[in-house]
Amino acid sequence: MNANKKLQSEVLKLLQKHVSKKQAEELLEKPPEEIGADLALPCFAFAKKYRKNPAEIAKDIASKLNPSGLIREVRPVGPYVNFYADSEKIASMVLKDVLKERNAYGKSKTGKGKRLMVEYVQTNPYKAFHIGHVRNIALGESLCRVLESTGNKIIRANYQGDIGPHVAKALWGLINIYNSKPPKDVDKGLWIGEVYRESNEKASLNQKVAEEIDEINKKLYDGDKKLLPLWKKGKKWSLDYFDKIYKDFGANFDRLYMESEVEKPGRKIVKELHKKGIAEISEGAMIVDLKKYNLPVFLVLRRDGIALYSTKDLALAEMQEKEYHPDKIIHVVGSEQKLHFQQLIKTIGIYNKKLADKEYHLSYELVILPSGKMKSREGKVILYGDLKRKMYALALKATKEKNPSLPVAQHKKIAEQVALGAIKYNMIMQSPEKVIVFDWNQALDFQGNSAPYVQYTHARACSILKKAKVKTIKDFDPSLLVDKKEIKLIKTISEFPQVVENAAKDYRPHYIASYVHNLASIFNEFYQTLPVLKADKNTAAARLALVKATQITLKNALQLLGIEAPEKM
């Protein structure tokens, strides 16, 4: 049991004769930093029962409590009973836990026995991988890591549209503009996205082209054998291109689902829904009327029999359940699909409530440029390759300025770590509900709320430890860590396991990003005002233990965000 949980457990035990455990668990809270207490029990809820004002109740309860163990003092403050931890005991427990657990610090078994599928990225073959997709993969991969760290078994899944109008457009361009052959010396996966953009532009200006594309789309759904070889080739170019990007994010998928796999099963499900009276024919198309659930009509099959996203998603849900039997299926998909998922899950619930209860849409907002929304159809996007190159160039320049004596190869390695870290952190740091306005300078700000700031702090901690020339830290006296900045740093380190649990419970990796930036800031306050190596021998040993505990926690937190922690910068 970590220090924070042990403290809470002791407070609950202390309160058990005066407040029910359930009520105490619900009411106990962490007060604002300026209060100075570690936990507080608000007494407003007891006023009606005891017919006293909350301040009197707080005094009565506090007077009956005798602090022990990790609890140093109990004090009534207005309508609250405040609990103050024994800093020395907390320091000893936290530092020993971190130094013992090392890479495992922050992990737990709260999710042990659960199988969760996280479906993320969803990049479509024949399209470019742009900055909007980057938010999805960064968020999805970080979520997987957070959930794994709490003991859940994670199935990483990716659902990709390898059929549909966008594929027909790209194939039309391949055939009619490029004679089915890519130019020499091009990244075929990147190039095919450009072909799609060109074809889309031509179709918007020429009705004949649009009709030809529609014909190709029908042939694809009918399994036209002449188109099949070119379709397979183009898809492979895209998937190979995507694999390189997945590697940058550490995303190793257990299952790649394709729309072509679920198109026919989806149509079969729709027919069954029609037989059962769940779906009905309206103007030649197949619909599910969800008006009684306060949702619009759900179109599940086109009048010409061509499958829609809804058709395929119905089959995908059944396929994922049949193959893996997960306890939860988390779809990391943009907020523009919110209504679609509400309709989809409600429709599934009509005929399979158990499966519907497993489905969860983790919605996230757009990534926009200062100039406004990006549209892949018009090519007005930052492509991932361009984003990475620019971030790398800026990171390399900054790395050379900060540490010019490093070898060229090391400069390049650090620049890669910093560039990718900056991209990932910028995509995760915001709550999924918030729109991200992507700012190059903010993402690479070594002094701001950014990955480079946290990475640089980690490198600084590593540098202190290296200069100390101490391989293992065993003998130190935690009672020497009495400065407010030291106590604050220890308490912040102690919060990490709970932050991870909360991030896993709420599916919110940005909790980790907020935490690690705060930890880095508090460590820098400590480092700038209190000497470590120049302190007396015993104080130096204690502070080195604190530096090592911080370094471990920073590294573990960054790892959950998919970000590397350089030892030099």
For 178-205, how does the pLDDT look when each residue is reduced to its tens digit (9 = 90+)? 999 999 999 999 999 999 999 999 999 9
84-114: per-residue pLDDT in tens? 999 999 999 999 999 999 999 999 999 999 9
Are 259 and 338 found together in one domain? yes
Are 154 and 197 found together in one domain? yes
Cβ neighbours around 29 below 10 Å, total: 11
Give the rounded percent of residues in the chain with a pLDDT score beyond 90. Answer: 91
* Structure confidence at residue 378 as a pLDDT band (50, 70, 90): very low
Residue 170 reports pLDDT greater than 90 = yes
Residue 377 reports pLDDT greater than 60 = no
pLDDT the model gives residue 375: 54
Mean pLDDT computed over 549-562 = 99
pLDDT the model gives residue 368: 85
Do 127 and 162 meet the contact criterion of CB atoms below 8 Å apart?
Answer: no
Residue 509 within a domain: yes
CA separation for the pair 385, 134 (Å, rounded): 11
Are 334 and 187 found together in one domain? yes
pLDDT the model gives residue 474: 83
CATH at 151: 3.40.50.620
* Structure confidence at residue 372 as a pLDDT band (50, 70, 90): low
What count of Cα atoms within 13 Å lies in the side-chain half-sphere of residue 513? 27
Average predicted confidence (pLDDT) for the chain: 95
pLDDT the model gives residue 438: 87
Residue 300 within a domain: yes
Are 54 and 140 found together in one domain? no
pLDDT the model gives residue 514: 98
Specify the DSSP class assigned to residue 53: -
Are 261 and 185 found together in one domain? yes
Residue 187 within a domain: yes
CA separation for the pair 172, 176 (Å, rounded): 6
Beta bridge partners of 154: 116
**Inter-axis angle of helices 510-529 and 451-468, nearest 10:** 40
Do 54 and 74 meet the contact criterion of CB atoms below 8 Å apart?
Answer: no
Are 289 and 357 found together in one domain? yes
pLDDT the model gives residue 380: 63
425-471: per-residue pLDDT in tens? 999 999 999 999 988 888 888 899 999 999 999 999 999 999 998 87
pLDDT the model gives residue 155: 99
Do 305 and 335 meet the contact criterion of CB atoms below 8 Å apart?
Answer: no
Output the pTM of the full model.
Answer: 0.94
Mean pLDDT computed over 283-287 = 97
CA separation for the pair 328, 325 (Å, rounded): 9
Residue 104 within a domain: no
Residue 209 within a domain: yes
The parent domain of residue 524 ranges over 418-430+439-560
300-344: per-residue pLDDT in tens? 999 999 999 999 999 999 999 999 999 999 999 999 999 999 999
Mean pLDDT computed over 136-151 = 99
* Structure confidence at residue 381 as a pLDDT band (50, 70, 90): confident
CATH at 479: 1.10.730.10
Are 37 and 169 found together in one domain? no
Are 125 and 60 found together in one domain? no
Query: In whole angstroms, how far apart are CA 430 and each of 345, 364, 509, 538?
Result: 27, 10, 9, 41
pLDDT the model gives residue 374: 53
Residue 100 within a domain: no
What count of Cα atoms within 13 Å lies in the side-chain half-sphere of residue 510? 13
Mean pLDDT computed over 355-372 = 91
Element (H, E) at 558: helix 537-560
Residue 148 reports pLDDT greater than 50 = yes
Residue 112 within a domain: no
Are 224 and 340 found together in one domain? yes
pLDDT the model gives residue 379: 52
pLDDT the model gives residue 373: 58
118-135: per-residue pLDDT in tens? 999 999 999 999 998 999
Beta bridge partners of 330: 118, 360
Cβ neighbours around 282 below 10 Å, total: 12
Are 178 and 68 found together in one domain? no
Cβ neighbours around 139 below 10 Å, total: 26
What count of Cα atoms within 13 Å lies in the side-chain half-sphere of residue 456? 20
> At which of 40, 66, 85 does a domain end?
85
10-19: per-residue pLDDT in tens? 999 999 999 9
Do 473 and 524 meet the contact criterion of CB atoms below 8 Å apart?
Answer: no
Are 246 and 365 found together in one domain? yes
Are 453 and 313 found together in one domain? no
Q: Is 425 exposed, middle or buried (0-12, 13-18, 19+ CB in 10 A)?
A: buried
Query: In whole angstroms, how far apart are CA 482 and each of 88, 91, 349, 485?
Result: 8, 10, 58, 8
Mean pLDDT computed over 498-503 = 98
CATH at 17: 3.30.1360.70
Q: Which of 241, 559, 239 is nearest to 428 (CA)?
A: 559
220-250: per-residue pLDDT in tens? 999 999 999 999 999 999 999 999 999 999 9
pLDDT the model gives residue 50: 87
359-364 sheet: strands from edge to edge: 255-258, 153-160, 115-119, 328-334, 359-364
Domains identified in the chain, total number: 3
Residue 113 within a domain: no
Amino acid identity of 81? V
Among 33-42, 125-134, 166-175, 438-447, name the one with the lowest average pLDDT. Answer: 438-447
Among 141-155, 374-388, 418-432, 553-567, name the one with the lowest average pLDDT. Answer: 374-388
Cβ neighbours around 353 below 10 Å, total: 10
Do 160 and 255 meet the contact criterion of CB atoms below 8 Å apart?
Answer: no
Output 245-250 pairs: Cβ under 8 A, ≥24 positions apart: 245/129, 245/137, 245/384, 246/121, 246/137, 248/388, 248/420, 249/137, 249/138, 249/141, 249/420, 249/424, 249/562, 250/141, 250/562
Mean pLDDT computed over 340-361 = 99
Specify the DSSP class assigned to residue 375: B
403-418: per-residue pLDDT in tens? 899 999 999 999 999 9
Strand segments, DSSP code E, in 375-523 are 436-437
What is the SS3 assignment for 27?
A: helix
Tokens representing 181 are: 């052959």
